[in-house]
Amino acid sequence: MNSPHNADELYAMANAFRQSRILLTAVELDVFSLLGEAGRSSAEIAEILGTDPRATDRLLNALCAIGLLEKEGGRFLHTDLSSRCLDRNADAYLGNLGHVNHLWDLWSGLTAAVRRGHGPAREPIGGRGDDWREAFIAAMHHRARTQAPLDVNLIDLHDAERILDLGGGSGIYAITMLRVKQDLRATVFDLPDVIPITRRYIAQAGLEDRIETRAGDYHMDDFGGPYDVVFLSAIIHSNSAEENRTLIRKCADALRPGGQLIVQDFIMEEDRTRPAHGALFALNMLVATEAGDTYTAEEVQLWMEGADLSAVEHRETQTGTVQVVGWKKKS
């Protein structure tokens, strides 16, 4: 991340939220999906959206100013980038921006969260509504779609027959592992309101016969098994340290002898200032959860060793995360 070097750059950093808010409002209104190849006038877009004509025009002008639209003869047109990434009809559509938009209000409460030590009380994920849930799973799927093949390449699946993708969301990691190893079978465990979304992604991948789903709360419910691999991607940052200690014990209990537990997340160096994206993500969990955080490799290793997992190793991925891997003794 670039650091400011003078007062002007510092001021620009403080004002960077303006461009972010312009983009997110346009995404929230789905402006980019209305333009088509010929573009539209601001009056036409306002009529379709039911928004104020003058305000809509100013928003579209601002999108031109920051390079996300072009304007010709009073009509607003896509740039190459916006047509590829911001039109929901495009293959490379950034569906994860819907989730970023939901984070806006939470980050506005950062000062209050620092004062009290946690984010505001929130509905459990199951109670946040279909729109939030769909946007969240789409965001996680979009992020992992390109990352999963690189991450899975680090995992030894040679002797594995059955895996558990815990809190698997869309099931993208289970899907990727099964594409790597043709005789592998998987279970994706997630909340009851998430599992119907999971099944859609599994069906799109054509893997209904090799991936089963299991609905429950990983804090309270049984995982089934035993499994050769239990995989936790982007899970521990949502929990407190004590919750993670208990969760990792449950994961270890669900392994076959000789099986492996893989925790993949933003793992911090001991001084917690690096990596930079992990330090920022710790604040994301501060504003979004009651007790979530980013954790160090030593913390995760101690949880694993406390669950009688051994030969713990750390693997840096190419995607900014770390895999901490522990093995269950064979006898």
3-state SS assignment for residue 268: strand
By C-alpha distance, which of 17, 16, 22, 28 is closest to 69?
22
**Which is higher by pLDDT, 138 or 166?**
166
Alpha carbon distances (Å) from 206 to 141, 142, 166, 169, 194: 16, 18, 20, 17, 19
Q: What is the DSSP string of 70-117?
A: EEETTEEEE-HHHHHHTSTTSTT--TTHHHHHHHHHHHHTHHHHHHHT
Res 38 pLDDT > 70? yes
Domain ranges of the chain: 7-94, 113-328
Which DSSP helix (H) or strand (E) runs through 327? strand 322-328
Architecture of domain 7-94 in CATH?
Orthogonal Bundle (1.10)
pLDDT in tens, 82-101: 999 999 999 888 878 888 88
Residue at 271: amino acid letter = D
Average pLDDT on 147-155 reads: 95
pLDDT in tens, 261-303: 999 999 999 999 999 999 999 999 999 999 999 999 999 999 9
CA-to-CA distance for 104 and 24, rounded, in angstroms?
9
3-state SS assignment for residue 159: coil
CA-to-CA distance for 128 and 126, rounded, in angstroms?
6
CA-to-CA distance for 239 and 224, rounded, in angstroms?
22
pTM to 2 decimals? 0.87
Q: Do domains 7-94 and 113-328 have the same CATH topology?
A: no
Which DSSP helix (H) or strand (E) runs through 300? helix 297-306
Residue at 119: amino acid letter = G
pLDDT in tens, 118-134: 887 766 665 667 777 88
CA-to-CA distance for 67 and 31, rounded, in angstroms?
15
**Residue 87, exposed/middle/buried by CB under 10 A (0-12, 13-18, 19+)?**
buried
By C-alpha distance, which of 172, 178, 85 is closest to 137?
172
Res 143 pLDDT > 90? no
b/e sequence 157-195, b meaning 16+ C-beta within 10 Å: beebebbbbbbbbbbbbbbbbbeeeeebbbbbbbbebbb
What is the dihedral sign for C-alpha 30, 49, 62, 10? negative
Strand duo 185-190 + 162-166: pairing: parallel
**Percent above pLDDT 70 for the chain:** 97
Tell me yes or no: is domain 113-328 CATH 3.40.50.150.
yes
